[in-house]
A and B are shown apart, each in its own frame.
Chain A
Amino acid sequence: MIGIPGHVFSKKNRALLAELVRTDFKLRYQGSILGYAWSLLRPLMIFIILYVVFVKFLKIGTGVPHFPVYLLLGIVIWNFFNEMTVQSLGSIVGRGDLIRKIRIPRWIIVLSSSISALINLFLNLIVVAFFLYINHVDLLKTAFYFPLLLLEVYVFALGLSLYLSAAFVKFRDIGYIWEVVLQAGFYLTPILYPLARITNLTFQKLIMLNPMAQAIQDARYSTITHQSPTIYQVFNGGWYRFTPFFIVIVVFLGGLAYFRKESKYFAENI
């Protein structure tokens, strides 16, 4: 009887989730003049920096059609993954005052910070759509798959978030470790450079086993240009190409199980 009251998505829990997301959204740009505009301006500015350095100075993307948008899409998806996991990681500890004093389903806290990140992703995708338009990119028919790829990234990030947020309650150095892992992941994922730049085929294959690399490459392939190598091409259609999806499912279920086990003791461990 004790624990999560009611159904997982009962009216009460939905109301609480909505209220937490609303509060987070209201408070996010508290005291800044441009307010929510920063949600659009920030990715735009980061994009400009990367564009100038990688496209204009280093000329990395020559040969890839619509490389600036291609670059932007990768950055936006990675940023979403980065933001969601980092925010969720500290979410349980950050809401320690609530957890120690009232009874709310703990997963709602992680879910609310993931939804905040999701809202930001959609705002960023508006920027992407704008660049798609001014770059005269004709959306490919395969763009139909794009939402499914976002779902894949979301489920992957949610699994990690559940795991990280619960582990952070016990081990505070998870925060620093995760920062390094993210930094490494950013460079090991073909975001700034086209995958074709890596000439060693074994490395290409290893890189593409990472769900983030697979999802970003597939997202580019499905919407912008078919000249973006996907995991299907890298493995020539072998069974190995399903590894990233398998990883996503395992991470999600593992994260969920770990979170459920640990959440009973959040109140006393924080």
Chain B
Amino acid sequence: MDGIAIKVDSVSKTFKLPLEKQSSVKSAFVNVFQPNKGYEVQKALSGISFEVKKGEFFGVVGRNGSGKSTLLKLMAGIYTPSAGSVVVDGKLTPFIELGVGFNPELTGRENVYLNGALLGFNRKEMQAMYKDIVDFAELERFMDQKLKNYSSGMQVRLAFSIAIQAKSDILLFDEVLAVGDAAFQRKCYSVFKNLKQSGVTVILVTHDMSNVEKFCDRVLVMEGGKVLGVASSADAIGEYSRLNLSGPSSVSGANRWGSGEIAVESVHAPKKKTLEEVYHYGSSMEIDIILKRHMDHKNTPIIVGLGFVDENGTTIAGPNTIQKPNLWKASKLKYILPNVRFAPGEYTLTVSVYDPELTSPYDFLDRYYKFSVVSDKQVHGLVGLDGEWINGRK
């Protein structure tokens, strides 16, 4: 165990989910005679193995239902693994939720001691920490008031203060950063930085890739109850955004209309049948558009337009051929985007074919094709810009 804080060795966890909640003696008797009925076995985790080193800031990411929280509860000793073993070296304090055991009828002070005891600190240890906790939460004046008279923000502050003052070797956090206002979050960030420097082992389960980027040394990526891998934070962010795609690009079929004399036959990446599923931020994108013209419309001028639509339905950009009369009679077109600057996420592509007066569409494929953009960096906003930062003194 030298240098290893937590060793998870081929751990599996299955839950027996009663199809109809069996919590009466009668149904237990019924089940004696029909032992195989009434349960659905759900495999939450299978064959998980990894190690967390001492002093490491270890992230766990994965989509909803990938088994992150189950894994955390196993590490915390709340669940017992169905197979395999979890070995923890050092004092471990889990924060699945902040302020566990807080009682509204007790005063702030009493709640601090109660919460501390639940986290495994005796009264003496709590007395040593008490002042720091109250100072950090900025609640000196309220400590002798009942918790029910606190605002929810004050309660969260108090709970988080206890959590971060906890002198422990290993801390487990489950999405707890999602609480508090911006100022409090900044405070939390500085605490995390301090934790990182002080050599405490921290395990953070999160959805927020900016936290991963800022703090994590290594990241465990989970999918479907399995470990996809342990990677550096940059690789993990890329992996995570790939996971968030909702499957291969496909034609949805329902949202297409138009008179049909000139129709879109195919929209695809060069030498492919479809678009690429994934485009990397900053890479180039080429879209080939093949049209099928009816006999009578071989030379009918048309305008072809594209629409890049993000997850919220906002059209980020809409390039078209209005300014390119030489393409109005073409049947094969190509759109080249040398530098994809869409923020990472899922996109749909709208393709339209109109007459030059834009009166009515020959073919309109509304949000018809899917693709996504991934990046190993955070991109703020909807698109990246070509702008540049320079030293202002020059």
Contact = CB atoms under 8 A, between A and B. Distances in A.
A19 B117 contact: yes
Interface in A11-30: 11-12, 14-16, 18-20, 23, 26-27, 30
- Is chain A's interface secondary structure helix, strand, loop, or mixed overall? helix
B77 interface: yes
Interface stretch (A48-56, A94-102, A213-221, A223-231): A94-102
Given A12-B121, A16-B118, A30-B105, A1 B87 contact: yes
B79 A98 contact: no
A23 B118 contact: no
Interface string B309-327: 0000000000000000000
A73 to B, nearest CB: 34
Contact of B77 (A3, A172, A268): A3
Nearest to A168: B23
Contact of B123 (A15, A30, A100, A173): A15
A173 B24 contact: yes
Interface residues of B, number: 34
B23 A170 contact: yes
Contacts of A60: none
Given A1-B88, A171-B25, A174-B25, A97 B121 contact: no
B15 interface: yes
A177 interface: yes
B25 A19 contact: no
A2 B86 contact: yes
A27 B147 CA distance: 13
B45 interface: no
Interface residues of A, number: 34
Given A26-B106, A30-B105, A98-B101, A12 B77 contact: no
A65 interface: no
Interface string B345-357: 0000000000000
Interface string B68-106: 000001001111100000111000101011001101011
B118 A104 contact: yes
A172 B24 CA distance: 6
A264 interface: yes
A10 B65 CA distance: 37
Contact of A15 (B79, B97, B117): B117
Nearest to B26: A173
Contacts of B227: none
Contacts of A42: none
A188 interface: no
B209 to A, nearest CB: 26
A2 B96 contact: no
Contacts of B122: 11-12, 14-15
Interface string A51-92: 000000000000000000000000000000000000000000
Contacts of A2: 77, 80, 86, 88
B139 interface: no
Interface of A: 1-3, 5, 11-12, 14-16, 18-20, 23, 26-27, 30, 97-104, 170-174, 177, 264-265, 267-268
Interface of B: 15, 23-26, 28, 73, 76-80, 86-88, 92, 94, 96-97, 100-101, 103, 105-106, 110, 113-114, 117-123
27 contacts: A1-B86, A1-B87, A1-B88, A15-B123, A16-B118, A16-B120, A18-B117, A19-B123, A20-B117, A23-B103, A26-B105, A26-B110, A30-B105, A97-B100, A98-B100, A102-B78, A102-B94, A102-B100, A102-B118, A103-B92, A170-B28, A171-B23, A171-B28, A173-B25, A177-B25, A267-B79, A268-B15
Q: Give 9 closest A-B pairs by Cβ, nearest first.
A: A15-B122, A19-B117, A264-B80, A103-B77, A101-B96, A16-B117, A2-B77, A172-B23, A267-B78
Given A15-B123, A19-B113, 12 more contacts: A2-B86, A14-B122, A15-B121, A19-B117, A20-B114, A26-B106, A27-B105, A98-B118, A102-B94, A171-B24, A171-B25, A267-B73
